[in-house]
């Protein structure tokens, strides 16, 4: 059963609390607004770029107080993901979000529960980039997609679950979820994808 709007908002508050507990916040921003405001906002708060990948899709900003921002352009998801790390990142993050807006986690969760739609798969992968701490609700959401009768949905769920474990830096429930998915899977290619995901997640140190 799809959660109520009240339950989705409560879940979003829980996610924010978990981020705050760890001093690590991850938001999905509209790309156009991020391009317009991100660089100037971070520069105004004393941050500079100190790492950029070869394709210019990932930039790391830092300041002298060891706070940092990692900015990832995800064209396939139509979002710019921003990860802020450290207490000194709170003020610039708030200033940035005030200018750009962001995709509310409650709205992403609502979309992710409509499992049969393409938007649900994109929402799940976007949310996977926000898993800073595992709990039962995360496991239930991924299980919902992994149990879909549609092999495309299951494939995308495997990808999203792998991303989530990497973002959380913690295997969490991923090994058990993938083991069960492998036992049920009848498509050979998807079984290979699941096996590859299990190997990738096995390399993450258990919490």
Express each pLDDT in 71-113 by its tens digit: 999 999 999 999 999 989 999 999 999 999 999 999 999 999 9
- Strand order from edge to edge, sheet including 79-85: 24-29, 79-85, 68-74, 58-62, 48-52
Q: What angle is formed at CA 147 by the lines to CA 129 and CA 168, rounded to 5 degrees?
A: 20
Residues 115 and 179 in one domain: yes
Q: Which residue has the higher pLDDT, 83 or 55?
A: 83
The verdict on residue 178 lying in a domain is yes
Same domain, yes or no: 115 and 127: yes
- Write down the pLDDT at residue 157: 97
Whether 42 is in a domain gets the answer: yes
- Please indicate, yes or no, if residue 20 is contained in any of the structural domains: no
118: confidence class by pLDDT, cuts 50, 70, 90: confident
**Model confidence band, residue 35 (pLDDT cutoffs 50, 70, 90):** very high
Looking at the fold, whether 98 and 110 belong to one and the same domain comes out as no
Token pair, residue 20, equals: 């705050």
Judgement on whether residues 38 and 90 belong to the same structural domain of the protein: yes
Asked if 77 and 125 touch (Cβ cutoff 8 Å), the reply is: yes
The answer to the question of residue 115 being in a domain is yes
Find where tokens 């064209």 sit: 75
Q: Which SS3 state, helix, strand or coil, does residue 115 take?
A: coil
122/152 same-domain check: yes
Residue 146: domain span: 106-202
Does residue 186 fall inside a structural domain?
Answer: yes
pLDDT at 52: 82
Given a contact cutoff of 8 angstroms between Cβ atoms, the answer to whether 132 and 24 are in contact is yes
Q: Please give the span between the terminal C-alpha atoms of the chain, in angstroms, as a whole number.
A: 31
8, 106 contact by CB (below 8 A)? yes
- Confidence check: pLDDT of 207 > 70: no
Given 102, 130, 161, which residue is the final one in a domain? 102
pTM for the model:
0.94
Q: Based on the structure, what is the number of domains in the chain?
A: 2
Closest among 189, 192, 193, 142 to 165, alpha carbons compared: 142
DSSP assignment of 71-109 equals EEEETTTTEEEEEEESGGGHHHHHHHHHHH----HHHHH
pLDDT band at 54 (very low <50, low <70, confident <90, very high): low
39 found inside a domain: yes
């Amino acid at each position: 059963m799809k959660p109520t709007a009240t339950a989705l908002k409560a879940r979003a508050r829980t996610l924010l609390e978990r981020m705050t507990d760890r001093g690590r916040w991850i938001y999905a921003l509209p790309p156009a607004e991020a391009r317009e405001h991100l660089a100037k906002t971070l520069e105004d708060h004393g941050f500079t770029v100190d790492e950029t990948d070869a394709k210019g899709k990932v930039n790391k900003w830092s300041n002298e107080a060891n706070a940092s921002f990692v900015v990832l352009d995800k064209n396939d998801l139509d979002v710019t993901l921003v990860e802020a790390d450290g207490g000194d990142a709170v003020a610039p993050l708030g200033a940035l979000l005030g200018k750009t807006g962001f995709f509310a986690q409650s709205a992403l969760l609502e979309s992710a529960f409509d499992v049969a739609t393409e938007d649900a798969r994109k929402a799940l992968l976007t949310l996977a980039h926000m898993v800073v701490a595992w709990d039962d609700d995360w496991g239930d959401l991924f299980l919902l997609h992994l149990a879909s009768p549609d092999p495309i949905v299951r494939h995308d769920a495997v990808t999203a679950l792998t991303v989530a474990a990497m973002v959380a830096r913690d295997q969490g429930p991923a090994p058990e979820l993938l083991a069960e998915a492998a036992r049920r899977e009848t498509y050979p290619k998807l079984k290979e994808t699941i096996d590859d995901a299990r190997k990738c997640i096995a390399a993450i140190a258990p919490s």
